[in-house]
């Protein structure tokens, strides 16, 4: 099977990015990662990319006078890279409509909750404070809503009585490292079809 070109967009330490790198290296995901794009020049994900010899593009959010100018620069960079799929792996900003429209059906995100519950930041904290018994992670296509695009796959994680935000986040993260590469694999094997709110897996 021919590999598909993917690019990752991340803001922080990049543990999900590392899971993608490892899955590609192991041959379980038929993809080639052609770029890391980050809004944070201090992101540890950059070091992971350099170790894996993946080109890095830094679009420093702090260097722009407005979000609009930043997003224009980000869109231009994404258009230059132009992979089959963009993977948001710990990207800590809401993607603007122009970018969403430009890459509709070609951009996925990992979120540390069972969507549609607990959208936005601090999803693990929201789950603990609400008192749910089960949380987890979701990989979904990105649309112009907040964490609201069609769901590709989810994994459940029990919320234990003694959990705080950090303990739950750590257990969810282990599942993210499996769920995200699986979603990328299905995309690269041309097995995903968006059908309204549903994602059909062929």
Burial 104-130 (b: 16+ CB within 10 A, else e): eebbbbbbbbbbebbeeeebbebbbee
| Whether the bond into 181 is cis, omega within 30 of 0 | no
Closest residue by Cα to residue 16 from 137, 116, 128: 137
Q: Are 177 and 129 a contacting pair, CB within 8 Å?
A: no
Decide if 111 is catalytic: yes
Tell me the C-alpha distance between 5 and 27, whole Å.
14
Q: % helix / strand / coil in the chain, to the nearest 5?
A: 35, 25, 40
Catalytic position from the list 111, 140, 175, 177: 111
Q: Are 146 and 120 a contacting pair, CB within 8 Å?
A: yes
Catalytic center residues:
111
């Amino acid at each position: 099977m021919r590999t598909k070109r993917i690019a990752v967009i991340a803001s922080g330490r990049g543990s999900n990015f590392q899971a993608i790198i490892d899955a590609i290296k192991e041959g379980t995901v038929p993809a080639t990662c052609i770029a890391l794009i980050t809004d944070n020049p201090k992101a540890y994900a950059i070091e992971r990319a350099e170790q894996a010899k993946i080109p890095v593009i830094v679009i420093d959010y702090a260097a722009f006078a407005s979000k609009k100018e930043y997003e224009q620069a980000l869109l231009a960079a994404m258009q230059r890279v132009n992979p089959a799929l963009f993977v948001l792996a710990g990207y800590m900003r809401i993607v603007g409509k122009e970018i969403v429209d430009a890459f509709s059906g070609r951009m996925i995100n990992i979120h540390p909750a069972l969507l549609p519950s607990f959208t936005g930041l601090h999803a693990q904290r929201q789950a603990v404070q609400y008192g749910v018994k089960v949380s987890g992670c979701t990989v979904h296509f990105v649309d112009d809503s907040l964490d609201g695009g069609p769901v590709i796959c989810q994994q459940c994680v029990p919320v234990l009585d003694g959990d705080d935000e950090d303990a739950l986040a750590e257990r969810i993260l282990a599942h993210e490292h499996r769920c995200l590469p699986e979603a990328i694999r299905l995309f690269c094997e041309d097995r995903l079809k968006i059908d309204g709110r549903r994602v059909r897996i062929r």
